[in-house]
Each structure stands twice: as C-alpha cells, then as structure tokens.
Amino acid sequence: MKKLLTILGALTIVTSSTKGVVSCQTGSGNWNDIPVDPPVLAFDVKGFPGVNFKDVNPQDNNQTIPMLFAQLTKIFQGTKWDFNTLHQQIKFNGSLITNPNPDLYRNGEYNIVINDNTSENELTINKTVVNSNHIADKVKNLDLGTVDDARPKTILIATVFNNMGLISEIDKFGRFFIGEETEAIWNQQIASVPRLKIDSNSGTAILETGKDHWTDHDDPQKDYYETVTVHFTVKSKQPPTNPMDLANSGLSTNLGKLPQVSILQIMMMFITLNFAGNLDKLSELLNDLYVKNITNNSADIEAWSGSKYFSGALKVNFS
C-alpha cells in the first residue's frame, strides 16, 4: 500500500508539473519529450573558480538577504572579484527591482542574479522571505468590519482577529501598540495610545511604528516598521439589562497549557474556551475584564467597576 501511494504521489507531481497533455498511446513519443519546468534551485553557481560557497544557505530563514550579502562579501575577499562591484539583478515576486535602495526584508519571493558582467561567472539565488516585520506584511486585511467602539483595545483585537497570523505574536503586537503587559497599563480604560491614531468619525486607524525602515540591528522580538491604515465602522450596541456575574456564570476556568503566562495569552485562551461563538463580544471582553494577581498557574479575571456587561470575578487556572 505504501508503494502504491508513493507511485500515485509521484504521478500527481509529474502530472501537475507538465505543461501539455501527454498521450500514452504507442508511437506518440517518449517520456523525454515531456516539457517539464526546470527545478528552482536556492543557490546555483556558474564559474567563479577558486571561490568556496559551501557554507552559503539561502534557505536559512534566520539569515536576511543583507546578511547573506555580507556573508558573500567575506567569501569573495582575497579573490580576484570584489563582491560589492559585481552586477546585481533582483526580482521581487517576479518584478524587477529598480529602486537603488530596495527593502529586502519584505515577505515574498526573491530571485537574485549576480555576475561579473559576463555569462561565465554567475550566482543565482532564490530565497523566500517569510519573517518580515513590515507592518503591512502583518496586517494584510485592512477592513476590520463593524466594531462596537473605537477604543485602542477594540481596534487592536479587531485587527488581530481579521489577520489571524497575528495570533502567534499577539503579545508582541499588544505590547508594541498598547504597552507592556502589566496590570498598571492594561487594567484600565484606555482612551488613546501614541501608536494608534484613531479617527472614529472617518472610521480609520493608522498603525504607526515610528520606524520607516528595517536593519539587522532591529529586534524582531519587539519591533515593527512602516505604517498601515485600517478601516472600520462603529455600531454601538445596547448593553444587557443585567451584567453577567462572573462568579456564577458557569464559564470554563481551566485554560490548559498556555504558550506563555501573560495578560493577553490568558485572555485569548479564556475567550477561545468560552466565547468562540460570540466574537461580537470581543470589545467588552478585552476592555471590561481585567487580569489580576497572575502567578505561574493561576490568575483572577475581574470585571471593571464601570462595566455594563460583567460584574464580579473568577479565578482561572493554567499550566
């Protein structure tokens, strides 16, 4: 059975990679006539005799293109070629880059051809960048739809849930745009923050990073760069007659294993377990519930005293 699956898988690959329809009738030709796209190599070297490229690995996601160029500069030192004077042609997602100072940190497919202006000595690099910190590579869906209000936490959580790739870095995103995840900062009603320029009248919010370019000295664990503008429509809703009493709500309080213990991780797991089918409650959940008394395995979730949606408190457990 495994052999059959392997054969079927191989046939699927061959079929999908051919450019034409192949007849299997006798006399219709041979397999060598089938047009197949050549393989795309991450790194291909032609010429450059005497230069050792054995340590070059463009597929290393931790190595940026500028870092790769710095590595190649060192490799060419002491040879007859100066890497910095070699001719470069760079394509980004199939389009030729003409900007003399391109942003080589953006997510996408890069095809880089480097030669000495001859066809005898040439490097071809194909690299996929997937870890950009350009805010536009993080926030691709700019339409947040309808939100209850235009408070910073509301815009933050609406942006995350409309760009699910941010879930994996929600702590970084929250700290960057709202502030450090401390009770003093997050357990309050936040009306404005410097990095979110919110205009409820026009239904826009500009996510400003304060940085217009990226370098290898910037911290990918903390920083973003450039700006994006998201759009939304505010539609206020009527609060319930009686707020939900957290202590007697019957909500799940065993959050299981968290990626890390933080205010946002606790809230996201609490929301996922109890309100996954009621995402219209995101604004009141993030704004009106405070996470307090955090330990390694427990925390209190307490309603803001002015909340019209929740009252009381409950204890959650996790590992």
pLDDT digits (tens, 9 = 90+) for 20-37: 444 445 555 665 666 666
92-137 pLDDT, tens per residue? 999 999 999 999 999 999 999 999 999 999 999 999 999 999 999 9
Domain boundaries, the chain: 43-129, 135-234, 244-317
Place 150 in a pLDDT band, splitting at 50, 70 and 90. very high
Q: Compute the distance between CA of residue 304 and CA of residue 292 in angstroms, rounded to an integer.
A: 11
DSSP states of 83-131: GGGSEEEEEETTEE---SS--TTSSEEEEEEEESSSSSSEEEEEEEE--
The number of angstroms, rounded, from the C-alpha of 233 to the middle of its chain's C-alpha atoms is 25
pLDDT digits (tens, 9 = 90+) for 45-92: 999 999 999 999 999 999 999 999 999 999 999 999 999 999 999 999
Which whole-number Å values give the CA distances from 8 to 2, 4, 11, 16, in the listed order? Answer: 10, 6, 5, 12
CB-based contact 298:315 (threshold 8 Å):
yes
User: Within 10 Å of residue 92's Cβ, how many Cβ atoms?
Assistant: 18
Using the predicted structure, report yes or no on whether residue 303 has a pLDDT greater than 90: yes
Task: Between 82 and 5, name the one with better pLDDT.
Answer: 82
Instruction: Please list, in sequence order, all residues whose beta carbon lies within 8 angstroms of the beta carbon of residue 9, skipping any fewer than 6 positions away.
Output: none
